[in-house]
Structure 1
């Protein structure tokens, strides 16, 4: 066990959560990505430790089987999170990552475990509208072009082998997203904060209104930038993510 850590190194986290901060925010990656989506974020926001979650079947967990379904993903993650819920915490999920973040909050409640103080969902329609995601209707060639566009936007030359690997992960994530069903809203026992990226061409502000059915307290906040600007942890987002403290 490393100094100040609460647990032995786990494949679910790129770094062991520490005991040195009074609160944590667990960050769920978007489809096709992994914990590295948050590599440019600071390790701490105010007094809140940033804990990116690493899903199976990507990056340093590429050799592991893909989680297959959100149910499998949440079951495994809830077990790992249980000893880390000893202080206030929040969940942040971006795009499709908002769905397992939401489902994990529900699972913790079902297990009688402490739940998040806030659920932040970013750029993702509510679970009962999840099938409207534009990317779920894209062909493989369209998804490949999307990956190439994304990499160039990160100033990375999209080598064919890199694109092939990204496409493999994305297709498996997309299959899990297509299999996901939540026909009726089920509320979580914590406030929900919905983040809309003003320049997001795929998800409108109106399409996020469905989240209002998912908690007694739901706030929608508009921040500047496009959907992938989340990776840069802009100041406006950082401020929003620390207000629950």
Structure 2
């Protein structure tokens, strides 16, 4: 297998029964999943690295989710030789969906499951308070997020992160599919009880995109980064069948 160091933080293990490709939240890099375990039983957590952040800092962020999905589908293809799934939270749930659309269009392997957390269905967006924020307002959000991730919010780091976040926000604004593509892939739509960014009651539209099940987890918008046990258990349980397929 040819390594793809740009797109993944590490080469996936040949011993994994299932691969869970995790796309980073808007404005962040793959290291945001550093609190997640590498393995959930037989499921390997594979953090995806997008252009413009961390070790891909010199590259330009994508202007559209469609362009991102075009490239991501091809980059991950060598690693789709066994059951796999996508996980995305908020803005990154949409590239996970769009990449699944690309895989279906190209006749490539399809995920065993698509996990979409804290995001409305693609044809019912865009949604979220970041969409109308100024750069100064985004700086406040980035400052808080960096500290929540355990970093130090240095001015240069905040400025750089705002540039990436602004690009991601604009890509979200541009993503307006007129109608959903119905996928032959089970979708797990995950809402968060105390989420003030995306109300879980607005996520029902995912049933228009494929066979969907809905789950409500405790916590606010950013709790997923902490690898809460109930989320890890849900991911593991819902991929258990794929691991023995």
TM range (shorter): over 0.9
1:207 corresponding residue in structure 2: 202
Gapped regions of structure 2 (runs ≥ 5) = 241-245
Gapped regions of structure 1 (runs ≥ 5) = 1-5
Partner secondary structure for residue 194 of structure 1: strand
Is the alpha carbon distance of 1:82 and 1:9 closer, same or farther for their aligned partners in structure 2, counting shifts above 3 Å?
closer
- Checking the alignment, whether the CA contact within 8 Å between 1:68 and 1:176 is kept in structure 2 is yes
| Deviation at residue 9 of structure 1 after TM alignment | 4.2
- Checking the alignment, whether the CA contact within 8 Å between 1:45 and 1:238 is kept in structure 2 is yes
Deviations 1:68-117 (A, max 9, x none): 21121111111111111111111101110000000001100101011001
| Deviation at residue 157 of structure 1 after TM alignment | 3.3
| 100-109 or 133-142, which deviates more | 133-142
* 1:20-31 equivalences in 2 (<5 Å): 20-31=15-26
- Checking the alignment, whether the CA contact within 8 Å between 2:36 and 2:226 is kept in structure 1 is yes
CA–CA distance in 1 between the matches of 2:6 and 2:197? 32
Is the alpha carbon distance of 1:204 and 1:10 closer, same or farther for their aligned partners in structure 2, counting shifts above 3 Å?
same
1:3 corresponding residue in structure 2: none
1:237 corresponding residue in structure 2: 231
1:219 corresponding residue in structure 2: 213
- Checking the alignment, whether the CA contact within 8 Å between 1:7 and 1:17 is kept in structure 2 is no
Q: Is 2:39 the partner of 1:44?
A: yes
- Checking the alignment, whether the CA contact within 8 Å between 2:114 and 2:186 is kept in structure 1 is yes
1:228 corresponding residue in structure 2: 222
Supply the RMSD in Å over aligned alpha carbons. 1.2
CA–CA distance in 2 between the matches of 1:212 and 1:24? 24
Poorly superposed stretches of 4+, deviation over 6 Å: none
CA–CA distance in 1 between the matches of 2:2 and 2:54? 21
| Deviation at residue 28 of structure 1 after TM alignment | 0.8
Relative to the length of structure 2, the TM-score reads 0.94
Is the alpha carbon distance of 1:157 and 1:10 closer, same or farther for their aligned partners in structure 2, counting shifts above 3 Å?
closer
- Checking the alignment, whether the CA contact within 8 Å between 2:127 and 2:198 is kept in structure 1 is no
| 93-102 or 177-186, which deviates more | 177-186
| Deviation at residue 142 of structure 1 after TM alignment | 1.0
